[in-house]
Amino acid sequence: MPGLDVRPATPQDVPLLHAMICELADYEKLRHTVKATEGDLHRALFGPRPLCEAAVGRSEDSASGFALYFPTYSTFSGRASLYLEDLYVRPAARGRGLGRLLFHYVVEATIERGYGRVEWTALDWNEPAIRFYESLGAVQRPEWRLFRLDGEALERFRK
């Protein structure tokens, strides 16, 4: 797609990635939950044992989006997968194919590594994201519900 490209994130991209994560949190009305610092992100992406990977999408020579993902493992299939934690395109760059290109980047990484699938979640009210994912051929899995143990509940369980 002309004027669009995607590349692996570098350590120099961390401030940009952090800013876009905050933009995404604002959009999802979850900014109050963002605790991650640029240092946290740098360690997760580029520390001695990286926990995740990221790709930066550019539109017209401007960083306009990102995908952040990490491997998981399925005991049923016996294969690794990639979990797409975040896919974000800044509002000014939406509708030009950058989201599709970022998603394609993650799919290619999945296939090249011999992994079995890509999985992710979308907020139930985020109709534009749901329509976008469905346009790619993705299918919602209504029989699965996401559960989370964090914060005080995580500490209580520990005791």
The tens digit of pLDDT for each residue in 114-141 reads 999 999 999 999 999 999 999 999 999 9
Q: By residue range, what is the domain housing residue 75?
A: 4-158
How far is it, in rounded angstroms, from Cα 27 to Cα 47? 29
Contacts of 107 (CB under 8 A, 6+ apart): 118
Phi-psi group of 151: left, alpha or beta (phi > 0 → left; psi -120 to 50 → alpha; rest → beta): left
Instruction: Quote the pTM value.
Output: 0.93
User: Which residue in the block uniquely carries the two structure tokens 């394609």?
Assistant: 104
Report the domain count for the chain.
Answer: 1
Domain containing 152 — which CATH number?
A: 3.40.630.30
For 56-104, write each residue's pLDDT tens digit.
Answer: 999 988 999 999 999 999 999 999 999 999 999 999 999 999 999 999 9
Q: Is the dihedral of CA 141, 87, 5, 135 positive or negative?
A: positive
Buried b / exposed e along 74-90 (16+ C-beta atoms within 10 A) = eeeeeeebbbbebbbbb
Q: Indicate if 133 belongs to the active site.
A: yes
Cα 13–Cα 108–Cα 146 angle in degrees, nearest 5: 80
